[in-house]
Amino acid sequence: MPRIRFEPTGRLIETSNADLSVSEAAERAGTPLDSVCGGRGTCGRCRVVVTSEDPPITEEDRRLIPPKDLERGARLACRMKVTRDLVIEIPSEFIRARQIILENSFVSVETSPMIRRVPVKVKLPSLDYPVGDFERLRSALGGRINEGRLTASLPVISSFPKLLRSETDLYAILRGDELLHLASDMNSGKYGVAIDVGTTTVVAYLMDLDSGKEMAVESDMNPQMGHGDDVLSRMTFAMENSNGHSLLQSSIVQCMNDLIDACCASIDISREDVFEVVVVGNTAMHHMLFGLDTIGLALSPYVPVVSDSFEVKAREIGVLIGDEGYVSSLPNVAGFVGADHVAVLLASRLWESEDPKLVIDIGTNGEISVGNSEGIASTSCAAGPAFEGANLSFGMRGTDGAIDHLSISDELDVSYTTINGLKPRGLCGSGVVDAISEMFKAGVIERNGRIREELGSPRIRIVDGESQFIVATRDETSMKEPIVITQNDIVQMQYAKAAMYAGTSILMDRMKISSSKLDAILLAGAFGNYVRPASARIIGLFPEIPLDRVIGIGNAAGAGAKMALLNEDVRKKAVELATSIEYVELAAQVQFEDRFYNALYFPNYDTSFFPQVMSEISST
């Protein structure tokens, strides 16, 4: 049985699976690699050094690893199979670091949750009052339930004899007309958890259902990334592996359980005090959590198994809370507009706005909504993973050492900041947008995206026939190789921003809203909150409106989940929104292709525009 030892940790893995890659083995060893392409051999971020032998060099290795590193045994872990004993050294710069996770979410809603804690004192039975336990409890609850409709499971009813023959003041934990629990503990049923299950990150909020106060928040990376960084990779994994769906489900359920435990431990309560979890996520994450087949989402016409709001007993999917507790999800709108975007709309209160607004949640799959109280139209754009740093030469997630912001002087000197001030390892999404915006402003690239090699700057070089712009020299970086923006990187960002802009323009036309009439652009999610609005506007990511009307709204999906947890009427509003939204399928729009290709070009600004932008930046 082949063995693989990882250095410097010394972790040893044995496997009889000849199809296991070195990157998968590293995941099992607790040292996941910083891959952003889902193991497809396109990002070059899973680089390791084989010290036990001189392994074969693949085509992907030659394309993504410098010759000097190939000579010392550097290879892409996702391209190597564990077919023999290996000793692998993992350079620290390629170990997956914890991403900066956006936890901030703002919520203001009256508390009226589905879970109700009703204090109750049940009359003891006697010869003069020989009434059954269940009936006495129902009578004690009186008008707080619909008379005669109280239901309870057999385990709950079985707990009655001991509890109802004491003088203890009790709490009935109700959800509608269902009795979930009968307890003497005043904390029981007092708490709920809202969870935003993102493709990359998972954030859990422990909420006090009485006061509406956030008691704890915990977050982690989505462990499904071991089976692909994007939803398409994971759906492919599920289709190609007989146990794929169960592996994806069990990994996200375990992550949720860990986060719930951490939240509860932080305020010294039991997870059994929680009786409701409200989850939001895109349609694929929703299906993977509930164990639903995702094949309908992968194939045209991209139909989900279920679009309606959905709930199951938590134990049915392995979520560990109070025995009779529920896991609930907000409704999905379509195959690629999920419950997370419905939650974003709840948090933005777009349906209440008199003036039209644009709401954008930018990611691999960008969701867009335009409208106001008179109506909302939504769509999804396959923007690709470029905004998250994937498929770019030195793209990476927002982790330690990622260049998050930069500027370029007229002399093409580059100034940058990195996350936590460490030596640069690559560029995250906001850094890439800054880089391309600044290159455009400095005249390094033309409107069509071409790098101007004729400038003759030492920052511009040609490698294997491809133009590159050096953002950080080899002496500045942690890998001792320069970090560059390549011509292909620019093309990838052009595709991504063109898809978003074309989708936005089609929605605005559908709603008969011009950019001059937009009251605001609301940017949800991590990318939307860390990207510089000026840089995004310069490259043509969204319509040109004053920067003070471009507003980051934090983790709006998490905020919407909290609102739904805390207020039953908000859930009804979510269902109303999901059914009333006009969903626009871009693939069916004949004008999309023309608008997409036109949006590939960078906007044709006059010479006064950039000083105007700088003035706006300084005043916002």
Q: Which residue has the tokens 């999804």?
A: 380
Q: What is the pLDDT of residue 619?
A: 46
**Backbone phi, psi, residue 517, to 5°:** -95, -5
What is the CATH number for 586? Answer: 3.30.420
Q: Please check whether residues 169 and 225 belong to one and the same domain.
A: no
Give yes or no: residues 377 and 514 share one domain: yes
Specify the DSSP element, H or E, that contains 570. helix 568-580
Residue 620, domain member (yes or no)? no
- Which segments of 236-374 are extended strands (E)? 274-281, 310-313, 326-329, 357-361, 366-372
CB 388, CB 531: distance < 8 Å: no
- For residue 100, tell me if it sits in a domain: no
pLDDT of residue 175: 93
Q: Is residue 102 part of a domain?
A: no
Residue 346 has, within 13 A of its CA and on its CB side, a CA count of: 37
Domain that holds residue 22: 3-94
Do 122 and 234 lie in one domain? The reply is no
Residue 395 falls within a domain, yes or no? Answer: yes
Query: What is the predicted pLDDT for the residue at 27?
Result: 79
Same domain, 479 and 498: no
Q: What is the pLDDT of residue 38?
A: 63
pLDDT along the chain (620 residues), means of 10: 80 79 82 71 82 87 85 88 86 60 63 90 88 89 74 92 78 92 84 93 93 92 80 86 91 96 95 96 94 89 89 96 96 90 93 93 85 94 75 83 94 95 91 96 95 94 94 91 94 93 94 92 86 93 90 90 95 94 90 94 68 48
CA distance 578 to 478: 47
Give pLDDT, residue 309: 92
Domain end position, chosen among 160, 183, 206: 183
Task: Output the pLDDT for position 94.
Answer: 65
The reported pLDDT for the residue numbered 620 is 43
Residue 291 CA to its chain's centroid (Å) = 19
**Best CA proximity match to 495, nearest among 392, 615, 374:** 392
Sole residue written with tokens 């969870």: 195
Choosing from 183, 209, 232, the residue where a domain stops is 183
Q: Output the CA–CA distances (angstroms, integers) from residue 449 to 415, 440, 466, 493, 603, in the order listed.
A: 22, 8, 13, 10, 11
**Can you tell me the distance from the alpha carbon of 483 to that of 393, in angstroms, rounded to the nearest whole number?**
8
Q: Residues 562, 525: one domain? A: yes
Residue 237 and residue 217 in one domain: yes
Domain's final residue, options 156, 183, 210: 183
Q: Is 104 part of any domain?
A: no
Question: Would you state the structure tokens that stand for residue 99, as one six-digit string?
Answer: 């991403």
Asked whether residue 105 is domain-assigned, the answer is no
Q: What is the pLDDT of residue 168?
A: 66
Domain membership of residue 477 (yes or no) is yes
| pLDDT in the model for residue 299 | 84
Same domain for 20 and 75, yes or no, is yes
155: Cβ contacts below 8 Å, ≥ 6 apart: 323, 324
Quote the pLDDT of residue 584: 93
User: Same domain for 127 and 29?
Assistant: no
Q: Please count the structural domains in the chain.
A: 5
